[in-house]
Amino acid sequence: MNEHVDDLAELYALGSLEDLDRARVERHTSSCAACAERVSEAEESVTRIAELQTMHEAPPGLRTRLHSSLALAHLRHAWVRSIPAAIAAALVLALIPTWVAVDRTRTVAAMHQDEQALAKIASAPFARAQFMSPRNAPMDAKVLYGMHGDWYYVVVMHPKPGMQVAYVHEGKMEMLGTVATHGASGTLYLPVNHKMEELALVSDGAVIGDAHLAY
Amino acid sequence: MASAGIRPGAAEERTLAQAFARREDWAFDEAYRRYGTLLYSVALNVLHNVQDAEDCVHDALVRVWRNPKTFAADRGSVRAFLTVVVRNDAISRLRASARRGRLAERLGREDEPAEEFEIDDFVQQRKLRAAIEELPQEQRQPVLLAYFGGKTHVEIAKELAEPLGTVKSRISLGLRKLGAALKEGRP
Ligand SMILES: [Zn+2]
Protein backbone atom coordinates (compact mmCIF):
# COMPACT_ATOMS: atom_id res chain seq x y z
CA MET A 1 0.00 0.00 0.00
CA ASN A 2 1.70 3.17 -1.14
CA GLU A 3 -1.23 5.35 -0.16
CA HIS A 4 -1.12 6.92 3.27
CA VAL A 5 -3.31 5.29 5.87
CA ASP A 6 -5.49 8.33 6.71
CA ASP A 7 -8.65 7.30 8.59
CA LEU A 8 -7.47 3.72 8.66
CA ALA A 9 -5.06 4.72 11.45
CA GLU A 10 -7.90 4.98 13.98
CA LEU A 11 -9.67 1.92 12.58
CA TYR A 12 -6.44 -0.03 12.93
CA ALA A 13 -5.96 1.02 16.54
CA LEU A 14 -9.56 0.18 17.42
CA GLY A 15 -9.25 -3.28 15.90
CA SER A 16 -11.95 -2.69 13.34
CA LEU A 17 -9.94 -3.61 10.24
CA GLU A 18 -9.97 -7.05 8.65
CA ASP A 19 -6.67 -8.94 8.91
CA LEU A 20 -5.61 -8.01 5.38
CA ASP A 21 -6.04 -4.24 5.83
CA ARG A 22 -4.43 -4.49 9.24
CA ALA A 23 -1.31 -6.05 7.73
CA ARG A 24 -1.20 -3.32 5.09
CA VAL A 25 -1.32 -0.60 7.73
CA GLU A 26 1.48 -2.34 9.65
CA ARG A 27 3.58 -2.57 6.50
CA HIS A 28 3.02 1.01 5.45
CA THR A 29 3.74 2.49 8.87
CA SER A 30 7.06 0.65 9.04
CA SER A 31 8.31 2.91 6.23
CA CYS A 32 6.23 6.13 6.48
CA ALA A 33 6.99 8.38 9.44
CA ALA A 34 3.93 10.60 8.95
CA CYS A 35 1.51 7.68 9.06
CA ALA A 36 3.44 6.02 11.89
CA GLU A 37 2.86 9.16 13.92
CA ARG A 38 -0.85 9.20 13.25
CA VAL A 39 -1.17 5.50 14.04
CA SER A 40 0.78 5.85 17.26
CA GLU A 41 -1.47 8.74 18.29
CA ALA A 42 -4.49 6.49 17.70
CA GLU A 43 -2.82 3.64 19.61
CA GLU A 44 -2.31 6.04 22.50
CA SER A 45 -6.04 6.85 22.56
CA VAL A 46 -7.05 3.20 22.50
CA THR A 47 -4.56 2.41 25.25
CA ARG A 48 -6.10 5.14 27.41
CA ILE A 49 -9.47 3.43 27.05
CA ALA A 50 -7.95 0.01 27.70
CA GLU A 51 -6.25 1.23 30.87
CA LEU A 52 -9.60 2.27 32.31
CA GLN A 53 -10.99 -1.24 32.04
CA THR A 54 -10.61 -3.92 34.68
CA MET A 55 -7.01 -5.03 35.22
CA HIS A 56 -6.09 -8.67 35.81
CA GLU A 57 -2.74 -9.98 36.99
CA ALA A 58 -1.04 -12.02 34.27
CA PRO A 59 -0.51 -15.67 35.18
CA PRO A 60 3.07 -16.25 36.45
CA GLY A 61 3.71 -18.94 33.84
CA LEU A 62 3.30 -16.52 30.95
CA ARG A 63 6.63 -14.77 31.43
CA THR A 64 8.48 -18.08 31.64
CA ARG A 65 6.66 -19.29 28.56
CA LEU A 66 7.67 -16.17 26.62
CA HIS A 67 11.26 -16.55 27.68
CA SER A 68 11.37 -20.13 26.62
CA SER A 69 9.72 -19.35 23.24
CA LEU A 70 12.03 -16.46 22.49
CA ALA A 71 15.18 -17.97 24.00
CA LEU A 72 16.13 -14.55 25.34
CA ALA A 73 19.79 -14.23 26.22
CA HIS A 74 20.32 -11.31 28.56
CA LEU A 75 17.91 -11.88 31.35
CA ARG A 76 17.69 -10.00 34.54
CA HIS A 77 16.87 -13.12 36.48
CA ALA A 78 19.79 -15.46 36.06
CA TRP A 79 17.92 -18.50 37.33
CA VAL A 80 15.78 -18.57 34.21
CA ARG A 81 18.81 -18.29 31.94
CA SER A 82 20.70 -21.02 33.73
CA ILE A 83 18.14 -23.74 33.09
CA PRO A 84 17.79 -25.49 29.74
CA ALA A 85 14.62 -25.01 27.70
CA ALA A 86 13.26 -28.47 28.50
CA ILE A 87 13.41 -27.81 32.21
CA ALA A 88 11.94 -24.36 31.66
CA ALA A 89 9.05 -25.95 29.81
CA ALA A 90 8.52 -28.43 32.62
CA LEU A 91 8.57 -25.51 35.02
CA VAL A 92 5.86 -23.76 33.02
CA LEU A 93 3.73 -26.89 33.17
CA ALA A 94 4.30 -27.13 36.88
CA LEU A 95 3.11 -23.53 37.33
CA ILE A 96 -0.15 -24.15 35.50
CA PRO A 97 -2.80 -25.61 37.79
CA THR A 98 -3.92 -29.06 36.64
CA TRP A 99 -7.43 -27.98 35.76
CA VAL A 100 -6.10 -25.36 33.33
CA ALA A 101 -3.88 -27.88 31.58
CA VAL A 102 -6.76 -30.32 31.29
CA ASP A 103 -9.18 -27.67 30.11
CA ARG A 104 -6.70 -26.42 27.55
CA THR A 105 -6.24 -29.84 25.98
CA ARG A 106 -9.97 -30.20 25.80
CA THR A 107 -10.45 -26.79 24.18
CA VAL A 108 -7.82 -27.36 21.53
CA ALA A 109 -9.19 -30.83 20.84
CA ALA A 110 -12.73 -29.45 20.66
CA MET A 111 -11.76 -26.82 18.11
CA HIS A 112 -10.13 -29.46 16.00
CA GLN A 113 -13.18 -31.68 16.35
CA ASP A 114 -15.52 -28.92 15.22
CA GLU A 115 -13.50 -28.51 12.08
CA GLN A 116 -13.64 -32.24 11.41
CA ALA A 117 -17.39 -32.23 11.95
CA LEU A 118 -17.94 -29.26 9.64
CA ALA A 119 -15.88 -31.01 6.95
CA LYS A 120 -18.15 -34.06 7.29
CA ILE A 121 -21.31 -31.94 7.15
CA ALA A 122 -20.07 -30.17 4.05
CA SER A 123 -18.97 -33.30 2.20
CA ALA A 124 -21.37 -36.13 3.11
CA PRO A 125 -25.15 -36.63 3.27
CA PHE A 126 -26.34 -36.39 6.85
CA ALA A 127 -29.48 -36.63 8.93
CA ARG A 128 -30.58 -34.72 11.97
CA ALA A 129 -32.36 -35.79 15.15
CA GLN A 130 -33.86 -33.66 17.90
CA PHE A 131 -33.16 -34.21 21.59
CA MET A 132 -36.38 -34.34 23.65
CA SER A 133 -36.69 -33.78 27.39
CA PRO A 134 -38.13 -36.56 29.62
CA ARG A 135 -41.45 -34.70 29.36
CA ASN A 136 -41.16 -34.98 25.62
CA ALA A 137 -40.54 -31.29 24.95
CA PRO A 138 -38.02 -30.44 22.21
CA MET A 139 -34.71 -29.21 23.64
CA ASP A 140 -32.30 -26.73 22.09
CA ALA A 141 -30.11 -29.65 21.19
CA LYS A 142 -29.67 -31.72 18.08
CA VAL A 143 -27.46 -34.41 16.71
CA LEU A 144 -26.28 -34.34 13.13
CA TYR A 145 -25.03 -37.67 11.89
CA GLY A 146 -23.66 -39.40 8.83
CA MET A 147 -26.13 -41.60 6.95
CA HIS A 148 -23.74 -44.52 7.32
CA GLY A 149 -23.49 -44.11 11.07
CA ASP A 150 -19.82 -43.20 10.83
CA TRP A 151 -19.90 -39.83 12.61
CA TYR A 152 -22.07 -37.86 15.04
CA TYR A 153 -22.04 -34.18 15.89
CA VAL A 154 -24.02 -33.08 18.92
CA VAL A 155 -24.90 -29.38 19.18
CA VAL A 156 -26.42 -28.06 22.42
CA MET A 157 -27.45 -24.48 23.19
CA HIS A 158 -26.53 -23.28 26.70
CA PRO A 159 -25.19 -26.67 27.81
CA LYS A 160 -24.81 -27.41 31.51
CA PRO A 161 -21.15 -27.56 32.53
CA GLY A 162 -19.76 -31.06 32.14
CA MET A 163 -22.75 -32.28 30.14
CA GLN A 164 -22.08 -35.69 28.59
CA VAL A 165 -23.41 -37.64 25.66
CA ALA A 166 -24.19 -41.34 26.06
CA TYR A 167 -25.11 -44.18 23.75
CA VAL A 168 -28.23 -45.94 24.95
CA HIS A 169 -28.45 -49.57 23.92
CA GLU A 170 -30.35 -52.56 25.34
CA GLY A 171 -31.10 -50.74 28.55
CA LYS A 172 -27.45 -49.79 29.10
CA MET A 173 -25.66 -46.47 28.74
CA GLU A 174 -22.16 -45.97 27.44
CA MET A 175 -20.59 -42.55 27.98
CA LEU A 176 -19.16 -41.21 24.73
CA GLY A 177 -17.75 -37.83 25.73
CA THR A 178 -18.25 -34.40 27.27
CA VAL A 179 -19.78 -31.45 25.44
CA ALA A 180 -17.28 -28.59 24.91
CA THR A 181 -18.72 -25.11 25.37
CA HIS A 182 -17.95 -22.18 23.09
CA GLY A 183 -19.95 -19.10 24.02
CA ALA A 184 -23.63 -19.97 24.04
CA SER A 185 -23.28 -23.27 22.26
CA GLY A 186 -21.69 -26.57 23.08
CA THR A 187 -20.58 -29.27 20.68
CA LEU A 188 -19.25 -32.80 20.68
CA TYR A 189 -17.95 -34.56 17.60
CA LEU A 190 -17.95 -38.35 17.73
CA PRO A 191 -16.20 -40.21 14.93
CA VAL A 192 -17.82 -43.44 16.14
CA ASN A 193 -18.24 -46.00 13.38
CA HIS A 194 -21.39 -47.70 14.61
CA LYS A 195 -25.03 -47.06 13.81
CA MET A 196 -26.31 -45.78 17.14
CA GLU A 197 -30.09 -45.53 17.41
CA GLU A 198 -30.44 -43.65 20.68
CA LEU A 199 -28.27 -40.98 22.26
CA ALA A 200 -28.85 -39.39 25.66
CA LEU A 201 -27.70 -36.11 27.22
CA VAL A 202 -26.47 -36.67 30.75
CA SER A 203 -25.96 -33.96 33.34
CA ASP A 204 -24.91 -34.61 36.95
CA GLY A 205 -25.51 -38.31 36.44
CA ALA A 206 -29.10 -37.89 35.26
CA VAL A 207 -30.51 -38.25 31.74
CA ILE A 208 -31.98 -34.88 30.76
CA GLY A 209 -32.88 -35.70 27.17
CA ASP A 210 -32.61 -38.24 24.42
CA ALA A 211 -32.68 -38.46 20.65
CA HIS A 212 -33.73 -41.30 18.36
CA LEU A 213 -31.75 -41.70 15.18
CA ALA A 214 -32.96 -43.37 11.99
CA TYR A 215 -30.87 -44.65 9.09
CA MET B 1 -7.54 -7.70 40.06
CA ALA B 2 -4.56 -5.34 40.09
CA SER B 3 -3.99 -1.73 39.12
CA ALA B 4 -2.08 -0.80 35.98
CA GLY B 5 0.68 0.67 38.15
CA ILE B 6 2.52 3.95 37.97
CA ARG B 7 3.47 5.15 34.53
CA PRO B 8 7.23 5.41 34.07
CA GLY B 9 8.66 8.77 33.03
CA ALA B 10 8.80 9.89 29.42
CA ALA B 11 12.59 9.75 29.20
CA GLU B 12 12.61 6.24 30.60
CA GLU B 13 9.97 5.25 28.10
CA ARG B 14 12.04 6.64 25.23
CA THR B 15 15.08 4.63 26.35
CA LEU B 16 12.94 1.54 26.48
CA ALA B 17 11.52 2.26 23.00
CA GLN B 18 15.00 2.61 21.53
CA ALA B 19 16.26 -0.59 23.12
CA PHE B 20 13.07 -2.38 22.12
CA ALA B 21 13.53 -1.24 18.52
CA ARG B 22 17.11 -2.54 18.60
CA ARG B 23 15.80 -5.88 19.92
CA GLU B 24 17.88 -5.83 23.06
CA ASP B 25 16.69 -8.74 25.17
CA TRP B 26 16.51 -6.77 28.39
CA ALA B 27 14.03 -4.39 26.71
CA PHE B 28 11.61 -7.23 26.11
CA ASP B 29 11.86 -8.29 29.71
CA GLU B 30 11.43 -4.74 30.93
CA ALA B 31 8.47 -4.09 28.64
CA TYR B 32 6.81 -7.24 29.92
CA ARG B 33 7.55 -6.32 33.52
CA ARG B 34 5.96 -2.90 33.02
CA TYR B 35 3.07 -3.73 30.72
CA GLY B 36 2.45 -7.46 31.22
CA THR B 37 -0.58 -6.83 33.42
CA LEU B 38 -2.00 -4.29 30.99
CA LEU B 39 -1.46 -6.57 27.98
CA TYR B 40 -2.92 -9.61 29.67
CA SER B 41 -5.92 -7.55 30.84
CA VAL B 42 -6.47 -6.18 27.34
CA ALA B 43 -6.56 -9.73 25.95
CA LEU B 44 -8.75 -11.07 28.77
CA ASN B 45 -11.20 -8.18 28.47
CA VAL B 46 -11.74 -9.11 24.81
CA LEU B 47 -11.60 -12.91 25.07
CA HIS B 48 -13.06 -13.61 28.56
CA ASN B 49 -11.06 -16.82 28.84
CA VAL B 50 -7.82 -17.03 30.81
CA GLN B 51 -6.13 -19.61 28.63
CA ASP B 52 -7.07 -17.86 25.38
CA ALA B 53 -5.84 -14.56 26.83
CA GLU B 54 -2.52 -16.09 27.81
CA ASP B 55 -2.09 -17.70 24.38
CA CYS B 56 -2.99 -14.42 22.71
CA VAL B 57 -0.40 -12.35 24.63
CA HIS B 58 2.21 -15.03 24.10
CA ASP B 59 1.66 -15.34 20.35
CA ALA B 60 1.38 -11.60 19.72
CA LEU B 61 4.58 -10.79 21.64
CA VAL B 62 6.52 -13.60 20.00
CA ARG B 63 5.40 -12.37 16.58
CA VAL B 64 6.40 -8.77 17.36
CA TRP B 65 9.77 -9.73 18.74
CA ARG B 66 10.63 -12.02 15.85
CA ASN B 67 9.73 -9.42 13.25
CA PRO B 68 12.14 -6.49 13.68
CA LYS B 69 10.23 -4.31 11.20
CA THR B 70 7.16 -3.98 13.39
CA PHE B 71 8.51 -1.41 15.81
CA ALA B 72 10.86 1.50 15.15
CA ALA B 73 12.13 3.73 17.94
CA ASP B 74 10.34 6.80 16.56
CA ARG B 75 7.16 4.77 16.29
CA GLY B 76 5.76 6.01 19.61
CA SER B 77 5.47 4.28 22.95
CA VAL B 78 6.09 0.57 23.39
CA ARG B 79 3.12 0.50 25.75
CA ALA B 80 0.57 1.76 23.20
CA PHE B 81 2.11 -0.20 20.35
CA LEU B 82 1.96 -3.50 22.25
CA THR B 83 -1.51 -2.79 23.62
CA VAL B 84 -2.91 -2.43 20.11
CA VAL B 85 -0.98 -5.40 18.74
CA VAL B 86 -2.30 -7.66 21.52
CA ARG B 87 -5.81 -6.25 21.28
CA ASN B 88 -5.95 -6.71 17.52
CA ASP B 89 -4.76 -10.27 17.91
CA ALA B 90 -7.44 -10.91 20.54
CA ILE B 91 -10.13 -9.48 18.27
CA SER B 92 -8.97 -11.72 15.41
CA ARG B 93 -9.26 -14.74 17.69
CA LEU B 94 -12.69 -13.67 18.83
CA ARG B 95 -13.86 -13.26 15.24
CA ALA B 96 -12.54 -16.67 14.26
CA SER B 97 -14.24 -18.39 17.19
CA ALA B 98 -17.45 -16.40 16.63
CA ARG B 99 -17.53 -17.68 13.06
CA ARG B 100 -17.24 -21.24 14.36
CA GLY B 101 -19.80 -20.61 17.11
CA ARG B 102 -22.30 -18.96 14.78
CA LEU B 103 -22.16 -21.91 12.45
CA ALA B 104 -22.66 -24.36 15.31
CA GLU B 105 -25.57 -22.30 16.60
CA ARG B 106 -27.23 -22.14 13.22
CA LEU B 107 -26.96 -25.89 12.95
CA GLY B 108 -28.46 -26.38 16.39
CA ARG B 109 -31.25 -23.85 16.21
CA GLU B 110 -32.52 -21.74 13.37
CA ASP B 111 -34.63 -19.21 15.24
CA GLU B 112 -31.91 -17.80 17.51
CA PRO B 113 -32.80 -14.17 18.25
CA ALA B 114 -30.13 -11.58 17.45
CA GLU B 115 -27.94 -10.71 20.42
CA GLU B 116 -28.68 -7.36 21.99
CA PHE B 117 -25.70 -5.05 22.36
CA GLU B 118 -25.82 -3.23 25.67
CA ILE B 119 -23.29 -0.46 26.31
CA ASP B 120 -23.98 -0.70 30.06
CA ASP B 121 -22.59 -4.22 30.14
CA PHE B 122 -19.19 -3.00 29.04
CA VAL B 123 -18.58 0.49 30.26
CA GLN B 124 -18.73 0.67 34.02
CA GLN B 125 -15.81 2.98 34.55
CA ARG B 126 -17.13 6.43 35.34
CA LYS B 127 -14.43 8.48 33.64
CA LEU B 128 -14.62 6.43 30.47
CA ARG B 129 -18.39 6.61 30.48
CA ALA B 130 -18.31 10.37 30.83
CA ALA B 131 -15.87 10.74 27.94
CA ILE B 132 -17.97 8.46 25.76
CA GLU B 133 -21.14 10.34 26.62
CA GLU B 134 -19.51 13.58 25.48
CA LEU B 135 -19.18 12.24 21.95
CA PRO B 136 -21.89 13.22 19.48
CA GLN B 137 -24.30 10.31 18.97
CA GLU B 138 -23.23 9.84 15.34
CA GLN B 139 -19.64 9.19 16.49
CA ARG B 140 -20.41 7.44 19.74
CA GLN B 141 -22.29 4.56 18.20
CA PRO B 142 -19.69 3.50 15.63
CA VAL B 143 -16.79 3.95 18.08
CA LEU B 144 -18.52 1.73 20.65
CA LEU B 145 -19.37 -0.88 18.05
CA ALA B 146 -15.72 -0.87 16.99
CA TYR B 147 -14.10 -0.91 20.43
CA PHE B 148 -16.51 -2.97 22.51
CA GLY B 149 -18.34 -4.80 19.75
CA GLY B 150 -15.15 -5.92 18.02
CA LYS B 151 -16.82 -5.16 14.68
CA THR B 152 -15.12 -4.19 11.47
CA HIS B 153 -15.92 -0.84 9.89
CA VAL B 154 -17.64 -2.71 7.06
CA GLU B 155 -19.95 -4.47 9.53
CA ILE B 156 -20.61 -1.20 11.35
CA ALA B 157 -21.53 0.59 8.13
CA LYS B 158 -23.94 -2.21 7.30
CA GLU B 159 -25.43 -2.25 10.78
CA LEU B 160 -25.95 1.51 10.89
CA ALA B 161 -27.01 1.69 7.22
CA GLU B 162 -24.50 4.47 6.57
CA PRO B 163 -21.98 4.80 3.72
CA LEU B 164 -18.60 3.23 4.47
CA GLY B 165 -16.72 6.52 4.02
CA THR B 166 -19.01 8.30 6.48
CA VAL B 167 -18.58 5.59 9.08
CA LYS B 168 -14.80 5.57 8.65
CA SER B 169 -14.48 9.29 9.23
CA ARG B 170 -16.91 9.26 12.18
CA ILE B 171 -14.95 6.49 13.90
CA SER B 172 -11.72 8.31 13.20
CA LEU B 173 -13.02 11.63 14.56
CA GLY B 174 -14.69 9.93 17.51
CA LEU B 175 -11.56 8.11 18.62
CA ARG B 176 -9.42 11.24 18.35
CA LYS B 177 -11.95 13.16 20.45
CA LEU B 178 -12.17 10.36 23.01
CA GLY B 179 -8.38 10.10 23.22
CA ALA B 180 -8.09 13.85 23.81
CA ALA B 181 -10.81 13.81 26.49
CA LEU B 182 -9.11 10.98 28.36
CA LYS B 183 -5.75 12.71 28.12
CA GLU B 184 -7.14 15.91 29.67
CA GLY B 185 -8.38 14.00 32.64
CA ARG B 186 -4.96 12.48 33.32
CA PRO B 187 -3.20 13.48 36.51
ZN1 LIG C 1 2.05 7.24 4.92
Q: Domain coordinates of chain B in residue numbers?
A: 10-109, 122-184
CB of B126 within 8 Å of a chain A CB? The answer is no
Q: Which residues of B touch A100 (CB under 8 A)?
A: 50-51
Beta strands A180-182; A126-132: pairing state: unpaired
Q: Which residues of B touch A52 (CB under 8 A)?
A: 125, 127-128, 182
Of B54, B91, B108, the CB nearest to A142: B108
Of A58, A76, A153, the CB nearest to B36: A58
CB of A23 within 8 Å of a chain B CB? The answer is no
B112-168 pLDDT, tens digit per residue, is: 333 333 444 445 577 888 888 899 999 999 998 999 888 999 999 999 999 999 999
What region, left, alpha or beta, does residue B58 occupy, with left being phi > 0 and alpha being psi -120 to 50 degrees?
Answer: alpha
Specify if A3 maps to a domain.
no
CATH number given to B10-109:
1.10.1740.10
* CATH architecture classification, B122-184: Orthogonal Bundle (1.10)
- What is the DSSP secondary structure assignment for residue A104, as one 8-state letter? H
Specify if A25 maps to a domain.
yes
C-alpha span between B39 and B16 (Å, rounded):
17
* DSSP, residue by residue, A29-66: HTT-HHHHHHHHHHHHHHHHHHHTSPP-PPPHHHHHHH
- H-helix segments, chain A: 8-14, 19-29, 33-51, 60-70, 78-81, 85-95, 98-123
Residue positions counted in chain A: 215
- Predicted TM-score of the model (pTM): 0.60
Task: Determine, for residues A140 and B109 on separate chains, whether the beta-carbon distance falls below 8 Å.
Answer: yes
B158-167 pLDDT, tens digit per residue, is: 999 999 999 9
Q: Are residues A37 and A70 in the same domain?
A: no
* Number of structural domains in chain A: 2
Of A39, A55, A66, the CB nearest to B32: A66
Q: Are residues A42 and A85 in the same domain?
A: no
CB of A53 within 8 Å of a chain B CB? The answer is yes
Specify whether the CB–CB gap between B48 and B66 falls below 8 A.
no
CB of A3 within 8 Å of a chain B CB? The answer is no
Specify if A2 maps to a domain.
no
Q: Are residues A80 and A170 in the same domain?
A: yes
pLDDT of residue B111: 40
- Digit-by-digit pLDDT tens for chain A (215 residues) are 468 999 999 999 999 999 889 989 988 988 899 999 999 999 999 999 999 888 889 998 999 899 888 876 544 433 333 334 444 444 444 443 333 333 334 444 566 777 777 777 777 778 888 998 888 888 989 999 988 888 899 999 888 888 999 888 877 778 888 898 877 788 888 888 788 899 999 988 888 999 999 88
Give percent of chain B with pLDDT exceeding 90: 51
Distance from residue A111's CA to the centre of ligand 1 (Å)? 39
Q: Read off the CATH number of the domain in which A154 is found.
A: 2.60.40
- H-helix segments, B48-114: 50-66, 78-108
Q: Are residues A145 and A172 in the same domain?
A: yes
Domain residues for the domain of A165 are 60-212
- Residue B29, pLDDT above cutoff 70: yes
- Residue B22, pLDDT above cutoff 70: yes
Distance (Å) from the C-alpha of residue A174 to the closest C-alpha of chain B?
A: 23
